[in-house]
Amino acid sequence: MANEVCFRTLHKDRPWRLETYQSEGGYEALKRILADRTSQEEIIEAVKKSGLRGRGGAGFPTGLKWSFINRAAPGDKYVVVNSDEGEPGTFKDRDILRYNPHALIEGMIICGYAIGAKAGFNYIRGEFWEPYERFEGALAEAREAGLLGENILGSGFDFDIHTHLGAGAYICGEETALLESLEGKKGQPRFKPPFPAMFGLYGRPTVINNTETLASVPDIIRQGADWFRGIGVENSGGPKLFSVSGNVVRPGNYEVPMGMPFAELLELAGGMRDGRPCKAVIPGGSSAPVLPGDVMMDLTMDYDSIAKAGSMLGSGAVIVMDDTNCMVKVLDRISYFYYEESCGQCTPCREGTGWMHRVVHRIETGAGRTEDLDLLDDVAKKIMGRTICALGDAAAMPVAGFIKHFRDEFQYHVDHKKCMV
């Protein structure tokens, strides 16, 4: 039960080629939709029923997002893909782009059909040159085969896809910042509402989904919503790509059913390196609060299980840490990241991320004070919920999480001016 959707072609030679994708059922869903003239409602209903939720981190139900588009509205609508993969620990979309770009292309076309869009943009982070070229190659193959462009397969349906390259900004993974960036501006998030479904790219109705989300769509249509839903568990339909990194024997991407016990996923990744104990795990990218290893061992990899433990499944980036890691140092690095990447628009985030980093850093370097732990909690609380986008929360949550679970380690740093480990 692995590699059933986004990694369907992975076991084959040159998995990114059109012929490889087609040998695994690729473009069958699109062909059927165009031949049967399947109604837009039916497609949106199928995606809703499949239980597919946004794979970029927020976990919003995909079908519901599509249903927010006013399909009767005149004028252009857009499909936008968020391939601005930048959440520390996450490296799955890169592999979808490199190894199965046609699944994304087919998913984009199906989405365009379902919402009445004629154009789609794939926003790929600027550093991803190899994935960008791979995706461009796939677009050329699809156009050549009549699967993309005007009058797709003689159906009268037009849809074209363009790639946009980012230039290094974590914040552009936030959907409205990404739209601003696509419009040629600095990537600062917009106020919501209006949501992109109403006022998106160029002010037009827009669906914006993560790469993995859209790449999952063709198989939902081809094999059925129930099939997809059945792979996962309640509230977490389908399989999911987990990017496992850190102190494991075989770091990498694993596409496995949602609800798989963490212990099993860890085993797939070869277990802990050098047989060391699993001290801590960040289960969903660096924004997700850290959890102690023994807590993780009892959890399953789905939205509800991780949420109940006080963290989140996020992007599915699982960072595994053994007992040689100092939690203060790890938080020092994470807090620096958010300080570096805050777009500067909202005062609590712009100033607060700097405060948090400076305080964590002084604890890490042996200049911490006892009151610093409460100060950190206080600053984190003053950022949470007070910013336009979720970056503020994303910066605050890890601070609260690390101190909650590893307070003694922080205290030891303050008291002894050095590391416990």
Q: Which residues bind other proteins (CB under 8 A)?
A: 76, 85-91, 93-94, 121, 125-130, 162-170, 180-191, 199, 202-204, 243-247, 251-253, 282, 286, 317, 319, 321, 325, 329-330, 333-334, 337, 340-341, 343, 345, 388
CA torsion sign for 350, 356, 359, 365 is: negative
Nearer to other proteins, 32 or 192 (CB): 192
**Cα–Cα distance between 3 and 24 in angstroms, integer?**
12
Nearer to other proteins, 32 or 250 (CB): 250
**DSSP assigned state of 290:** P
Nearer to other proteins, 47 or 104 (CB): 104
Nearer to other proteins, 31 or 118 (CB): 118
Asked, as a colleague might, if the bond just before 15 is cis with ω within 30 of 0, I would say no
In whole angstroms, how close is the CB of 136 to other proteins at the nearest point? Answer: 11
**Which tokens in the block code for residue 104?**
């994304």
**DSSP assigned state of 191:** P
- Helix residue ranges, H only, 224-345: 225-231, 262-268, 293-296, 303-308, 327-341
Nearer to other proteins, 66 or 337 (CB): 337
Amino acid at 168: G
In whole angstroms, how close is the CB of 249 to other proteins at the nearest point? Answer: 12
In whole angstroms, how close is the CB of 262 to other proteins at the nearest point? Answer: 17
In whole angstroms, how close is the CB of 380 to other proteins at the nearest point? Answer: 18
In whole angstroms, how close is the CB of 343 to other proteins at the nearest point? Answer: 8
CA torsion sign for 207, 20, 135, 232 is: positive
Nearer to other proteins, 60 or 202 (CB): 202
Nearer to other proteins, 209 or 286 (CB): 286
In whole angstroms, how close is the CB of 123 to other proteins at the nearest point? Answer: 10
In whole angstroms, how close is the CB of 252 to other proteins at the nearest point? Answer: 5
Nearer to other proteins, 203 or 385 (CB): 203
**Cα–Cα distance between 168 and 126 in angstroms, integer?**
6
- Helix residue ranges, H only, 90-128: 92-99, 101-115
Residue from 207, 188, 187, 185 nearest 196 by CA: 207
Q: Where are the beta strands (DSSP E) in 54-204?
A: 78-83, 119-124, 160-165
**Cα–Cα distance between 397 and 405 in angstroms, integer?**
12
**Cα–Cα distance between 106 and 384 in angstroms, integer?**
38
In whole angstroms, how close is the CB of 98 to other proteins at the nearest point? Answer: 11
Those residues with Cβ within 8 angstroms of residue 140's Cβ, 6 or more apart along the chain or in another chain: none
